[in-house]
Chains A and B, each alone.
Chain A
């Protein structure tokens, strides 16, 4: 069974600081996804990483994928309060189309 672990599970940080959320998964996977969820809301897609070494950036968020290490990172640069949300990573396996999500990282950016 494929397992996805995120850490930290909770992250409280000051505005302007940098931090990284880690996503480890247990077996070979070809694709990794990052989602954001605001309280009481649905999930919004942030990044789709399709190959080893893939790096994508949007605003203050940058995601990368190392399939050999089975690790993805979501780096936050100069955090702002608007980034406060829960972030999930998920993996699916080629030709399987089954998704496995991490437990989520609840980020609180304090003004």
Chain B
């Protein structure tokens, strides 16, 4: 089944404790992206990647890091999480420009 998977689905952590949210897609998509969703703000793009080793900032990259060492994986790293990063995070992928994005199930992160 073609899909985007994220792990973990739920995470409660404390300020300053480094964490990684994994994202993997099995559709051989070149483009992958991370978003955060907050009430009343819609989705805001954090980082995106056009291909392996090619990443770029979205609208709200501060406090986040990403890497794209393999085509299928695009992990999101929070080196020192803070409470304002409490949010619902979505990973997405698409095959080419102008194509629809496929979204993962989401990761609900709470930073205490």
- Do chains A and B stick together as partners? yes
B3-33 Cβ-contact flags toward A at 8 Å (1 or 0): 0000000000000000000000000000101
Q: Are B42 and A98 in contact (CB under 8 A)?
A: no
Give A109 to B90 CA distance when docked, in angstroms: 27
Give A34 to B63 CA distance when docked, in angstroms: 29
Give A57 to B99 CA distance when docked, in angstroms: 17
Candidates B43, B48, B92, B103; contact of A98 at CB < 8 Å:
B48
Q: Are A97 and B50 in contact (CB under 8 A)?
A: yes
Q: Are A104 and B104 in contact (CB under 8 A)?
A: no
By beta carbon, the residue of chain A nearest B45 is A99
Candidates A41, A48, A101; contact of B98 at CB < 8 Å:
A48
Q: Are B103 and A43 in contact (CB under 8 A)?
A: yes
Per the 8 Å Cβ criterion, residues 22-75 of B in contact with A are 31, 33, 35, 40-45, 48, 50, 56, 58-59
Size range of the interface on B?
20 to 34
A38-64 Cβ-contact flags toward B at 8 Å (1 or 0): 000111110010100000000000000
Minimum distance in angstroms from A97 CB to a CB of chain B: 6
Candidates B42, B56, B90, B102; contact of A104 at CB < 8 Å:
B42
Specify which chain B residues have a CB less than 8 angstroms from the CB of A77 in the assembled complex: none
Q: Are B106 and A42 in contact (CB under 8 A)?
A: yes
Specify which chain B residues have a CB less than 8 angstroms from the CB of A101 in the assembled complex: 35, 42-44
Q: Are B48 and A33 in contact (CB under 8 A)?
A: no
The answer to the question of B100 belonging to the interface, with a C-beta cut-off of 8 Å to chain A, is yes
Candidates B44, B50, B90, B99; contact of A42 at CB < 8 Å:
B90
Per the 8 Å Cβ criterion, residues 65-98 of A in contact with B are 88, 90, 92, 94, 97-98
Which residues of B does A touch, CB under 8 Å?
31, 33, 35, 40-45, 48, 50, 56, 58-59, 90, 92, 97-106
Q: Given known contacts A30-B98, A43-B90, A99-B48, what 19 new A-B pairs fall within 8 Å (CB)? A: A4-B42, A33-B100, A33-B101, A42-B104, A42-B106, A43-B43, A43-B92, A43-B103, A45-B100, A45-B102, A48-B99, A50-B98, A88-B43, A97-B48, A98-B48, A98-B56, A99-B43, A99-B45, A99-B58
Q: List 8 A-B contacts (CB under 8 A).
A: A43-B101, A48-B98, A92-B97, A94-B97, A97-B48, A97-B50, A99-B48, A99-B58
